[in-house]
Structure 1
Amino acid sequence: MSTLTFRRVTRDDFPLLAQWLANPHVERWWNHETDPAAVERDFGASADGREPSEDFLLLVDEQPAGLIQRSRLTDYPEELETFAELTDVPDGAVIVDYFIGATEHTGQGLGTAMIAAMVAKIWTELPATPAVLAAVVAANRNSWRALERAGFRRVAEGPMEPDNPVDDPLHYVYRLDRPAA
């Protein structure tokens, strides 16, 4: 069985992130620019600790396989407002966003394992977090199914700005509450 771990993204990872963001299965949903300036713009502040959002590489047997981001919604008022327009957002909620970047790791349930492992990390490292939320374009069935398999439940649906302008704005919002002690 493979060992899954996380480590914070560093600037040395930027070429790998650019490569992953260019992979068709990632590019389709993230629609991210991959030139060095764009990767620097979108990941540099987090890598340097100048932004409250945290970017982590998922490592499978110590080899990079994916990216998962976690952020406290209160640190991003516009995003908090967007979520709050669709569902109740408990104070202290954390959001996650993610992808499996390495093509050889897709289609194996690794996304679900990554999400579940990050949620466990959130419960341990951020003990005041009452819930984890994620918003997914409704058309991205693989993504929202991974959330469901990780224990999340769909709590809302409605319009949000999609990462890819070709997508309909319809998003599903998923939530996982901290287990009772």
Structure 2
Amino acid sequence: MTFAWRRLTEADFPMIRGWLEEPLVKRWWNHETTPEAVQNDFGASARGEEPGQDWLALFEGEPFGLVQRSVYADYAEYLEPLSRLTEMPAGAISLDYLVASPEHRGKGLGVLMIQSMLAKTWIDAPAAPCVVIPIAAGNQRSWRALEKAGFRRVAEGDLEPDNPIDPPLHFVYRIDRPRLSF
């Protein structure tokens, strides 16, 4: 099974608003969904005005998921607290992701989406040594998807939660760039 990827555009914002309003997505992403808030949160990336990238995952031509990809060094507000929990090599990449609708969940698409973005990341960012992802400890679906995608848990500790209803405990997952063997 393969996925196509395309960068998020401002024309996608109404769809993103709907995704962010879906109860399970809303629970873990905790974004405001007004048109102004979506524009504020995703606009700079869609216009190429910031280093982070928002990617739509397409399955059979239809968008079903979103992956945000960035280099930690570009976002000190995330790098510094995470560095207290685990080693953060120069060039480490962050991914944040969601599967938008309930009908696409529970079928392994999230795991395959993560693996597909990893393969893309190793090509797009040849200097990146690893991908590091902190996950709220209570978001078992998400950290289990990372484990199935080949990530390993390397740390746990307190980080500011995305949703203020969550405790600060996070699990930190990492996968290193595959080494070529001849």
1:123 aligned partner: 122
Distance 2:166 2:7 in 1: 30
Maintained 8 Å contact 2:17/2:34 = yes
How many equivalent residue pairs? 180
Corresponding letter in the other structure for 1:51: E
- Deviation at residue 104 of structure 1 after TM alignment: 1.4
- Deviation at residue 97 of structure 1 after TM alignment: 0.3
1:17-52 deviations in Å (ceiling 9; x for gaps)? 000000001001111101100000000000000010
Distance 2:39 2:177 in 1: 34
- Deviation at residue 107 of structure 1 after TM alignment: 1.1
> Matches of residues 51-66 of structure 1 in structure 2 within 5 Å?
51-66=50-65
- Deviation at residue 83 of structure 1 after TM alignment: 1.1
Distance 1:80 1:178 in 2: 19
Superposed CA RMSD in Å reads 0.8
Corresponding letter in the other structure for 1:137: A
1:177 aligned partner: 176
Instruction: Name the TM-score, length of structure 2 as normaliser.
Output: 0.97
**Consecutive unaligned residues in structure 1, runs of 5 or more:** none
- Deviation at residue 102 of structure 1 after TM alignment: 2.2
Distance 1:17 1:162 in 2: 21
Distance 2:9 2:34 in 1: 17
Instruction: Name the TM-score, length of structure 1 as normaliser.
Output: 0.98
> Matches of residues 140-151 of structure 1 in structure 2 within 5 Å?
140-151=139-150
Structure 2 SS opposite 1:15: helix
> Matches of residues 1-181 of structure 1 in structure 2 within 5 Å?
2-181=1-180
Maintained 8 Å contact 2:2/2:116 = no
Distance 1:34 1:76 in 2: 23
- Deviation at residue 103 of structure 1 after TM alignment: 2.2
**Consecutive unaligned residues in structure 2, runs of 5 or more:** none
* Runs of 4+, deviation exceeding 2 Å: none
Distance 2:96 2:162 in 1: 12
Corresponding letter in the other structure for 1:97: D
